Amino acid sequence: MSAPITCVADLRELARKRVPRAFFDYADHGSYDEVTLRDNRAVFDRIRLRQRVMIDVDQRDLATTIVDQPVSLPLAIAPTGLTGLTHGSGEILAARAAGAAGIPFCLSTMSICSVEQVAAAVDHPFWFQIYVMRDRGFTRSLIARAREAGCSALMVTADLQIQGQRHREIKNGMTVPPKLTLKNLVDILGKPRWVQGVLTAPSRSFGNLAGQIDGAGGLTTLAQWIGSQFDPRLSWDDIAWIRDLWPGKLILKGIMDPDDARAAVAAGVDAIVVSNHGGRQLDGAIASAVALPRVVDAVGNDIEVLFDGGIQTGQSLLKAVALGARAGLIGKAFLYGLGAMGQEGVTRVIEILRRELDVSMALTGHTSVHDLDRSVLLDEHGEPWLPVHARVQGTT
């Protein structure tokens, strides 16, 4: 009899056994020495929670809104590339799980199932994430396809103009299109559940990029292809151009600096995501949780601030909201659930985070996520928590 699944870490271990190594490592690891990847979670571990008692917490409410969309808890599924190779039809299964849970799902440009395939398979709107390509005509066509598919928000990723090297991808032979090596083949043959899911999926290559990768070459690494297609000239002018093309909610992901946050407000986007790309880009960048309060303080109520980076428990989600985020996005966590158990696994992840957030909120004496603020946070010594920059300046 297998052990019960009680946390996201349990699903990660199950996914590690069921997903071929190349695709598991793609989701699980970061760039270079993975310092930022580790810091994203380590910072949350150092923040303590202020326990309160003798407060009526019988009736609790996790509901909120994200870019004016009602949600059942302050959580969304982040855009992740190659999701359909973590589990066949992965984007569709994750979108269905998110819809059933009452939270947003964001489809990546680098998805396996296309925006049209996902739209045809789900009965609720979802978000679409876009990279700005050198070919602006193709970028324009992707935005038009997202509009036609009824996507309720467009998310522009700002921090992947040039890709940071991810050692595992090179060593595992990640190519565009993905190709089998003898080493990968042996691994894949030992994962019959994964093989069946992928073979019965509607797509096994980059569904949104049909016709764009044909000339990439069979042994071109994913990083090399991205380097040839993504535009390092990306600027605020491009955000203005996209704003003109997209009439709906516009979200900008990859903001880590207060100056960039203020520029995003001036650019007229509806929300920003504080994110270091899950530690997959600039290794040595500060943790997202360190950047979050600085960004929140810089923009005040001028723009909605979302958060991405290291959320794998309900406690870390609570901490992100207390630091000023309207909601948190999960990437790795939902991929672990997807790889472990398909749609049911994604549902498990959402419910684990929901339950942990609910219990932790009650034990800190709160009944609504809207009441969470920095007063609930303590440092390792039990003192009121302050952002690092405030400590350096001697702020009390």
The residues carrying an active-site annotation are 277
Joined tokens for residue 155 = 């998310």
Q: Is the peptide bond before 177 cis (omega within 30 degrees of 0)?
A: yes
Name the β-bridge partners of 76: 329
Comparing CA positions, the residue from 338, 243, 294 lying closest to residue 11 is 338
Comparing CA positions, the residue from 159, 126, 154, 125 lying closest to residue 142 is 154
d(CA 175, CA 186): 17
Q: Helix crossing, 288-299 with 258-267: angle to 10°?
A: 50
3-state secondary structure of 106: strand
d(CA 283, CA 152): 32
Joined tokens for residue 286 = 């500060």
d(CA 316, CA 276): 16
3-state secondary structure of 285: coil
d(CA 90, CA 81): 11
d(CA 31, CA 63): 35
3-state secondary structure of 349: helix
d(CA 391, CA 381): 14
Using the structure block, give the residue that is written with the tokens 């809207």: 370
Task: Provide CB contacts within 8 A for 164, sequence distance 6+.
Answer: 31, 32, 277, 280, 281, 282, 283
Comparing CA positions, the residue from 143, 141, 83 lying closest to residue 107 is 83
Helix (H) or strand (E) holding 330: strand 327-330
DSSP H helices in 102-201: 115-121, 136-148, 167-171, 182-189, 192-199
